[in-house]
Structure 1
Amino acid sequence: MAVLLIAEDDEDIAMVLARVFKRAGMTVLRAPDGLAALELVFQERPDLLVTDLGMPRMDGWELIEAVRADPDVGRTPIVVLSGHLRPGDPRAGTARCCAILLKPCPNDQLLATVQELLEIGPHQHGTAGSPCPAEMSVSV
């Protein structure tokens, strides 16, 4: 069973996301901010991380950077699910996340993205031949 970590500061959104993923047969961990999420990434080694961008203590961009910087967890697939992404934000192209989805995102699209990344599994970013969907779409 896949273990998924949700980093989301809005309790209502986190509950809905947890329900969606649990119904899909996944084990769900939740963190109310980026710093708590980073601690859980190191402790629990989830198969995938879904993160918001606008969170207290450590935002989603900082969380992604911290995960990618660690050799033990840096290959974890990461999905950004946020309503805080501004058009033209340069961090979207350099964050080394696997997918960016904007809220509100249809549950079926979110699940399909997560399932695709779980099938790919841990992978490198910023290297030639990376199986990451984000990397493939940039290189084409």
Structure 2
Amino acid sequence: MALVLVADDDEDIRDLVSFKLEQLGVDVVSAADGSAALAAVRERRPDIAVLDISMPGLSGIDVCRAIRAEPDLSATRVILLTARAQESDVEAGFSAGADDYVTKPFSPRELVSRIQTLLARAQP
């Protein structure tokens, strides 16, 4: 079964995304800040990490870079979920190694569809 990390300092967003994923039968682990997110990735090895960019401690960009820098974590797909919608922000996200970039406000159905697509691509 797939495991997805949802990391956002906004509890309502974490709960919403987690609920939608759990409805599909996806296992979810959540984190409220960047340091906890990186620790969860290292410990649990999720298939996908959904990361808010603006979190206390490490940003989602920092966590994404750390994931990409560690060979053992390189299979983890990263979706950045953020209110930062400027072209330079999107470019910075992809430069850090993100697989996808979703701006807030967002459609939970669209986010779940993007997660399902990445999960399907990850299957051998």
The verdict on a shared fold, with TM-score over 0.5 as the criterion, is yes
User: Which residue matches 2:2?
Assistant: 2
Task: Report deviation, 1:25.
Answer: 1.0
In structure 1, list runs of 5 or more residues that go unmatched: 123-140
User: Which residue matches 2:11?
Assistant: 11
**Segment drifting more, 78-87 vs 97-106:** 78-87
Distance 1:91 1:45 in 2: 24
Q: What does residue range 16-55 of structure 1 map to in structure 2 within 5 Å?
A: 16-55=16-55
Distance 1:4 1:69 in 2: 20
Q: What does residue range 114-133 of structure 1 map to in structure 2 within 5 Å?
A: 114-121=115-122
Q: What does residue range 83-94 of structure 1 map to in structure 2 within 5 Å?
A: 83-89=83-89, 90-94=91-95
Q: Which has more helix, going by share of residues? A: 2
TM-score normalised per structure 2: 0.92
Task: Report deviation, 1:13.
Answer: 1.0
Q: What does residue range 51-90 of structure 1 map to in structure 2 within 5 Å?
A: 51-89=51-89, 90=91
Task: Report deviation, 1:92.
Answer: 2.9
List 4+ stretches of structure 1 deviating above 4 A.
none
For 1:98, the aligned partner's letter is: D
Secondary structure at the counterpart of residue 116 of structure 2? helix
C-alpha distance 116-16 of structure 1, shift in aligned 2 (>3 A): same
Secondary structure at the counterpart of residue 88 of structure 2? coil
Distance 2:73 2:93 in 1: 20
Sequence identity percentage: 34
In structure 2, list runs of 5 or more residues that go unmatched: none
Q: How many residues align?
A: 122
Highest relative contact order (Cα 8 Å, sep 6+), 1 or 2?
Answer: 2
Task: Report deviation, 1:86.
Answer: 3.1
CA-to-partner distance for each residue in 1:90-121, whole Å, 9 max, x for gaps?
A: 41341211110111111221111100100111
Contact 1:53 1:85 in 2 (8 A): no
Task: Report deviation, 1:4.
Answer: 0.4
Distance 2:88 2:42 in 1: 31
Task: Report deviation, 1:88.
Answer: 2.3
Contact 1:5 1:29 in 2 (8 A): yes
